[in-house]
Structure 1
């Protein structure tokens, strides 16, 4: 237990709420500020991609005893369901038997996390805009508008958990020697839905993450407990098949009939949702340093926003908290050592998962429907099952382990180089499950 401090957190999202629980467990007074109203009193829709909780996220939740509370709101997905035009749906299992990622509504989870943080003793201050921060003094300045006089809120420590466009990070960016970059994809996304069937049943397999890969664009659908699916259409903003081209109801209808003919019948609100819900952007943000004056630290998307294609955005933010807490327990009241170690441990891993997430966009939108890719995955899966001590597929390493993301990326690149050589073997389609292929992989593994 640390010496109690007064801690301010900006952002009542998933990371801010979980961080509040951890810090309360350490005995601190915790205030959480959010410029928005309390989302528990709001309808939460229109800009969401369902979350996929995996091993790193569960570890963080389990440590503070709330895994069961959250798992009750989630649906396990043990496979991808690939919808290729003109072919039956086929399935790609994620990992070994019993391994699954868990679909959960962002809004449902966020509301529950705020409830749990309040139960732990955190104080939430909604409708409170933070306009400025004194990094050296740990003072937040709040007020109704930018032109009004601001109220100083003094703290011992401040954590910026206020997302990709963090007000705390914005102030840090104006400091000397602060590095920052942001990169937007030319692809945006729009939330759609498939309502529940009769008796709140799911109209498709409920234990799958459904993907309609179409090259430069794709549709995905994740299940909800009420029988519905949250769908997300990813498309370029501009070009032949793009959001800018779908500007009338007839064009949207024709587009979905042409590319998603097997699901359009299950989307009765398609046109209403398409024109009501915003087209949102996808950005990767990197920065350094994450801390200032041993009093202020960034965490979650405020430090490292990533694109959502590995399902790791929330999981990496939760793992930030796990690692931060490990250093809290190791260094006690030495916040200088806590912050230094937290940043040095997490920064390279955040950069690695950003790269992994971008690469998985290419895999999901294009390669999941490619026969060579499917064969490649089958070879890897067969070898990993026979030699689990020698080979863990990259997806499993990222999703079903707590191996550092940087090491996962390094190992993934090494394994890719091996599989590139395997796929060049003569008649690989016929000999893929042979001893010859096993021996080739074993031989290549010796080269590292």
Structure 2
């Protein structure tokens, strides 16, 4: 029997028709498999309101590559808008621009719902793909290769057979929960102390954007921050306030909310309107943010976790979507490498990919501090400029962290290792320069009688620089 015939006879069950699930359905259909997708929600293309987050998505190199492989990049990107860097807002409404990378390097802001609708339609365009809506996974009998779903409208139970099951059902994955009961899966989750609330800046009366559109707008305030991403469909900005839960708890009246926004986000408040902001705080609960790590991603040769089900991450690097889509690229590469032998594909994929996904999880956590605090630091700006100069001089040797993560397909764990190496090089160079400078000044001081005077003037400065350096 030919390889193609075997593939056509295998049934792939995908749990979740979100972004990763819908795109994986396309990948598997392209390979000749029969694909059944089971989605807990109704068809979002027919729903007025969709349950879940509405924070706009940041699409960059890794995600675009997955779309390009299926001929979907142009259709998706025409519904997005490029962002070339961060536009940082100060307390008085002034701004400064911090580019992401080179002049032409940009990430793309895309409406989450529109993106998901496009991918669902793409999946359903394959005759071998069928999406079952309103199906909630309630039980798995892996020994019999059976999944049991509850139909949300009738509460009727439906049991289906599968050959390979793929969990694309998000951070709170039901499939992962069932896999944990059947294997020694290492699992951890971390809720960060901060919550988030979604807000909105509407378009101008003439339908234009209220702020410059090709930027991620950022109001960093050390322990909390507000961000705004441009939205193509209606020229609004999707705004998100990230803050410790205690801050949300303290804003328990309209007066306190307005005072808080006037003190910290005066320009954003003017654009959103006081009535809108106070109503949002009265009606919207601040939502939690979770980071998930697990290993392995596979259950023998018939089950695998992909996307957030395997590695949900906080949204501060804009890589959740891109990391999930890159999962599919890597999975596809292993299928080709092992000629669809899932006894090899699934464990090899899990071992290879988990290293990178866990590194990206850590980078996302690390980037929160950068976004809410470090961007206001002169040392941070200086480091960005130094990285860009060295990148221009040594493009193959010195690639800035953000560039390697967002504008290349360098493995995530290598991006992190490269940054650690760069930190060591810079720190040692600074220490060496300081030592040489002090040695030279000491020599001059002893020979010209100025040592005591110079030492008293330079000591505070040297102490301050030393404190700013993170010795590795």
Partner residue in 2 for 1:253: 258
Contact 1:47–1:280 (Cα < 8 Å) also in 2: no
Deviation at 1:32, TM superposition (A): 1.1
Contact 1:376–1:419 (Cα < 8 Å) also in 2: no
Partner residue in 1 for 2:211: 204
Match of 2:190 among 180, 183, 191: 183
| Counterparts of 1:147 and 1:7, CA distance in 2 | 25
Contact 1:257–1:264 (Cα < 8 Å) also in 2: yes
**For 1:18-97, what aligned pairs fall within 5 Å after superposition?**
18-42=23-47, 43-44=49-50, 47-86=53-92, 88-97=94-103
Choose 347-356 or 193-202, whichever is displaced more.
193-202
Partner residue in 2 for 1:445: none
Choose 55-64 or 193-202, whichever is displaced more.
193-202
Q: Report SS of the residue matched to 1:233.
A: strand
Match of 2:244 among 236, 254, 259: 236
Match of 1:103 among 102, 109, 112: 109
The answer to whether 1:9 aligns with 2:14 is yes
| Counterparts of 1:45 and 1:197, CA distance in 2 | 28
Higher helix share: 2
Say if 1:129 and 1:46 are closer, same or farther in 2 by CA, change over 3 A.
Answer: closer
Q: Report SS of the residue matched to 2:119.
A: helix
Partner residue in 2 for 1:119: 125
| Counterparts of 2:384 and 2:425, CA distance in 1 | 13
Deviation at 1:10, TM superposition (A): 0.7
Q: Report SS of the residue matched to 2:45.
A: helix
Choose 289-298 or 78-87, whichever is displaced more.
78-87
Partner residue in 2 for 1:443: none
| Counterparts of 1:87 and 1:417, CA distance in 2 | 36
| Counterparts of 2:192 and 2:42, CA distance in 1 | 30
Deviation at 1:157, TM superposition (A): 1.0
| Counterparts of 1:282 and 1:423, CA distance in 2 | 37
Q: Report SS of the residue matched to 1:375.
A: helix
Contact 2:135–2:152 (Cα < 8 Å) also in 1: no
Say if 1:151 and 1:18 are closer, same or farther in 2 by CA, change over 3 A.
Answer: same
**Structure 2 unaligned spans of 5+:** 436-472
Deviation at 1:118, TM superposition (A): 0.9
Partner residue in 1 for 2:467: none
Say if 1:174 and 1:252 are closer, same or farther in 2 by CA, change over 3 A.
Answer: same
Match of 2:286 among 267, 270, 279: 279
Say if 1:295 and 1:46 are closer, same or farther in 2 by CA, change over 3 A.
Answer: closer
| Counterparts of 1:320 and 1:259, CA distance in 2 | 39
Q: Report SS of the residue matched to 2:149.
A: strand
Deviation at 1:186, TM superposition (A): 0.4
Kindly tell me the number of residue pairs found equivalent between the two proteins. 424
Say if 1:46 and 1:177 are closer, same or farther in 2 by CA, change over 3 A.
Answer: closer
State the TM-score, normalized to the length of structure 1: 0.91
Partner residue in 2 for 1:326: 333
Choose 267-276 or 409-418, whichever is displaced more.
267-276
Deviation at 1:152, TM superposition (A): 1.2
Match of 1:338 among 345, 348, 353: 345
Say if 1:228 and 1:289 are closer, same or farther in 2 by CA, change over 3 A.
Answer: same
Match of 1:143 among 150, 174, 178: 150
**Structure 1 unaligned spans of 5+:** 428-448
Say if 1:103 and 1:186 are closer, same or farther in 2 by CA, change over 3 A.
Answer: same
State the TM-score, normalized to the length of structure 2: 0.86
Deviation at 1:46, TM superposition (A): 7.2
| Counterparts of 2:142 and 2:326, CA distance in 1 | 25
| Counterparts of 2:194 and 2:401, CA distance in 1 | 25
Map Cα deviations across residues 12-60 of structure 1 (whole Å, 9 max, x no partner): 1000000001011011111111111111122348732211100000000
Query: Considering only aligned residues, what root-mean-square deviation do their CA atoms show, in Å?
Result: 1.9
Deviation at 1:195, TM superposition (A): 0.5
Choose 85-94 or 58-67, whichever is displaced more.
85-94
| Counterparts of 2:267 and 2:238, CA distance in 1 | 16
Contact 1:138–1:296 (Cα < 8 Å) also in 2: no
Partner residue in 2 for 1:359: 366
Say if 1:217 and 1:65 are closer, same or farther in 2 by CA, change over 3 A.
Answer: same
| Counterparts of 1:85 and 1:148, CA distance in 2 | 53
Q: Report SS of the residue matched to 2:243.
A: strand
Deviation at 1:303, TM superposition (A): 0.6
Larger Rg: 2
Partner residue in 1 for 2:235: 227
| Counterparts of 2:67 and 2:153, CA distance in 1 | 37
